[in-house]
């Protein structure tokens, strides 16, 4: 599914974020930025060991913030590492922290003159954020950003598996219906 926001494209695809040909991909990292499981492990495996070397120089990343590195062996030239909230730990702050992870990722993308970026579904794996709620926050934050910034031409959500894709598709249709 794809929609146009301002002059930019917002896309939902089912797939693997490590394989995307957008200029940047986003990593759902942890605060150490030293690698982990899930999508983080997959990105480090695909990018090669130089990614970890660069990440070691960054001094970690706070929840809700984002930092950029090169993409090394990935098709994408850059990786934007962001840290989403841990759902049970962060309680009522989780909503704002999840929105912030997406917003900061988009800001860092813009600051580096990157025109296209792919996101995985942040915080909905090991960090336990319920998928339906996370999808609505992710999509609304991306839409708000694209409505107020024109430099990013493509934001792609790369959803791992059919069920995740369907949850995001339903959430996007609901947001568009209420506009
Ligand atoms: P978090 O710690 O932020 O919850 P996870 O990596 O555990 O991050 O999970 C985030 C989401 O990424 C989950 O929905 C998971 O299914 C998905 N995922 C895992 N591997 C990939 C991949 N290669 N591409 C895209 N999404 C992935």
State pLDDT tens for residues 55-106: 999 999 999 999 999 999 999 999 999 999 999 999 999 999 999 999 999 9
Calpha distance 83→91 (Å, rounded) = 16
Ligand 1: residue of 25, 37, 38 to mutate (most ligand atoms within 8 A of CB) is 38
pLDDT in tens, 130-146: 999 999 999 999 999 99
Question: Domain of 125: which CATH number?
Answer: 3.40.220.10
User: So what's the pLDDT on residue 179?
Assistant: 73
Residue 79: φ, ψ to 5°: -120, 125
CB of 124 within 6 A of ligand 1: the answer is yes
User: So what's the pLDDT on residue 178?
Assistant: 87
User: So what's the pLDDT on residue 173?
Assistant: 98
pLDDT, averaged across the chain: 98
pLDDT in tens, 40-63: 999 999 999 999 999 999 999 999
Q: What is the mean pLDDT of residues 14-34?
A: 98
Q: Which residues are catalytic?
A: 40
Per the CB < 8 A criterion, the answer to whether 175 and 141 are in contact is: no
Distance in Å, CA 125 to ligand 1 centroid: 5
Distance in Å, CA 5 to ligand 1 centroid: 26
User: So what's the pLDDT on residue 104?
Assistant: 98
Q: Is residue 36 pLDDT above 80, yes or no?
A: yes
CA-closest candidate to residue 13, choices 169, 168, 170, 158: 158
Q: What is the mean pLDDT of residues 117-130?
A: 98
Parent domain of 166: 2-178
Among protein residues, the one whose CA lies closest to atom 13 of ligand 1: 125
CB of 123 within 6 A of ligand 1: the answer is yes
Count: domains in the chain: 1
Closest atom of ligand 1 relative to the 43 alpha carbon: 23
Q: Where are the alpha helices (DSSP H) in the chain?
A: 38-47, 49-56, 87-90, 94-111, 131-148, 162-177
Paired tokens of 11: 């896309």
pLDDT in tens, 139-174: 999 999 999 999 999 999 999 999 999 999 999 999
């Amino acid at each position: 599914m794809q929609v146009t926001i301002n002059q930019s494209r917002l896309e939902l695809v089912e797939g693997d974020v490590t394989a995307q040909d957008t200029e940047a991909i986003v990593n759902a990292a942890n605060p150490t930025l030293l690698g982990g499981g899930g999508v983080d492990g997959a990105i480090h495996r695909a990018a090669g060991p130089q990614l970890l070397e660069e990440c070691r120089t960054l001094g970690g990343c706070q929840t809700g913030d984002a930092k950029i590195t090169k993409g090394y062996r990935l098709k994408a030239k850059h990786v934007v590492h962001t840290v989403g909230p841990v759902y049970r730990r962060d309680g009522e702050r989780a909503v704002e922290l999840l929105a912030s992870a997406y917003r900061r990722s988009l800001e860092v993308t813009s600051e580096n003159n990157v025109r296209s970026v792919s996101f995985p579904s942040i915080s909905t794996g090991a960090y336990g954020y319920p998928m339906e709620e996370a999808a609505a926050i992710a999509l609304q934050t991306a839409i708000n950003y694209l409505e107020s910034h024109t430099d990013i031409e493509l934001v792609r959500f790369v959803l791992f598996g059919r069920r995740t894709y369907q949850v995001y598709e339903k959430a996007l249709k609901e947001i568009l219906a209420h506009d």
